[in-house]
Structure 1
C-alpha cells in the first residue's frame, strides 16, 4: 500500500518490500505444505507444485532466475535498458474479481528451471528428471503456459518478453489446498483462520484456461 509514496523516497526499498512480501507468501505456503503433505498431494496439480518449485528457487537463490517485473524494470537502469521494448503481461482469470493484485515473473524462467532440452545452467538439479518432466507437462496442460508462449505475436513476444502474474496461480493453489483440508476434517480455528476460510473455500474461483493479456511498451523517463 505504501509503494507509490515510498518509491519517491527510496525506490530500492519499495521494490524490495514487494519482493519480500511475495516471497513471504511462498514461505507460508511451503510451511503449509510441510505440515499437510500427508493430507494433500501437492505435486498432483500444476499450481500447487509450481509454488513449491518457485519457493525453493527464490529461497536458495543459486541462480539468476525469477527476478520480479518490478526488480527487472525499476532497478539497475532497467527502464533505460528496455526502452522501446514491448512486453506481454499475462494473468489467469480470477472469476468475477473487480481487482486482482499483480506480481510478475518471466515465463522463460520456469522453462529454464524445468526443461532439460534447453541446456540451462539453472536447471532444478534437486529434482529427478522424471519429476521435472512431469511438472513441465503439468504447467503446459493445466496452466496453459504453452498456449501463452504460442501467442499470436510470438515474434514480438518471445518467452523472455512474457511475464506471468503469480497471484491468480497462488489463489488457485490455496483454494485447492484449503478445500481439500476442510473436506478431510481439518478445522479452521481462530479469528485469522476464519477470515480466510470462507474466501478460499467458497468465494474465490480461478479459471486457469482463460487469460487476460496486457501488451505494454517500456518508456524510460
Structure 2
C-alpha cells in the first residue's frame, strides 16, 4: 500500500506539472499540450486504481459516489472500447476543430470546495457520456456490462450523491444540447483521493517518499469538496484553454 500511495502522489504531481506547462505549450503546439494533459489525467486514474486494488480491505470504494465514479471512469478509459470520455479540450480542438463550435456555449458544472484551497485544475467530461456508460436504463451500446443490479445501484449512488440529475435539469432548463453539458470531474477526483488517503492514514499506512509526504497533509487535513452542491458556468469553446 505504501508504494501505491507514493505512485498516486507522484502521478498527482506530474499532472500539476503538466497543467502548469499547458498554457505556454498550447500557444505553440495545442495538440501536444492537450495530449500531455489528458495523458497525465489518465495516469492519475491508473494510479488511483492501483491503490484501490491493494486497499479494498480498508475502504469500500463502491459505497461512495466519488470513489465509485473514479473507478468506473478509469475502467472505461482503460479499456477504451467506445468513443466516450474524450476531454472537452480534445473534442473541441483535436476532433472537431474550434471553428465548428463558433457561437456555441457549454454549460459546465463544478462541485465547490469547502476550504481556503479552491480547486483550480479542470477536466471536463460530457454528462451524456456518463449516462451512456453508467445508466443501465438507456441500453447504450457503450454501457458498462456490470451485473444489472449492481449497475442500477451504482448509477443511483453516483446520480444522487453527486447531483448529476440537477446538472441535467439545469441544462434542459437553459436549453443546452446534451453534447454541450459538461461535468468538471476534477473536484470528484480530489474528493476520492481525500477519502482514500484518510482511510490509509487511519489504518496507520505510512506515507513514504517526498511526493507522498507532500500530499499527505493537504489531502487528509485541508481539502474538502462539497459533493452535495454544484455550481454552474457558461463557457465559450474558445475559452476552454483559459479555463484549464
User: Which structure: greater strand fraction?
Assistant: 1
In 2, Cα distance between equivalents of 1:219 and 1:203: 33
Equivalent residue number for residue 107 of structure 1: 127
Q: TM-score, normalised by structure 2?
A: 0.84
Equivalent residue number for residue 16 of structure 2: none
Of the candidates 185, 189, 199, which is equivalent to residue 170 of structure 1? 189
Is structure 2 residue 220 aligned with structure 1 residue 201? Answer: yes
In structure 2, stretches of 5+ residues that fail to align are 1-19, 240-244
Is structure 2 residue 209 aligned with structure 1 residue 190? Answer: yes
Question: Runs of at least 4 residues of structure 1 off by over 3 A?
Answer: 217-220
| 1:83-102 aligned within 5 A | 83-95=102-114, 96-102=116-122
CA drift of 1:99 comes to 5.0
In 1, Cα distance between equivalents of 2:238 and 2:67: 35
| 1:19-168 aligned within 5 A | 19-95=38-114, 96-125=116-145, 127-151=146-170, 154-168=173-187
CA drift of 1:70 comes to 0.5
User: Which structure: greater helix fraction?
Assistant: 2
Alpha carbons of 1:191 and 1:5: their partners in 2 closer, same or farther (altered >3 Å)? closer
In 1, Cα distance between equivalents of 2:39 and 2:203: 32
In structure 1, stretches of 5+ residues that fail to align are none
Q: TM-score, normalised by structure 1?
A: 0.92
CA drift of 1:218 comes to 3.6
State the SS of the aligned residue for 1:156. coil
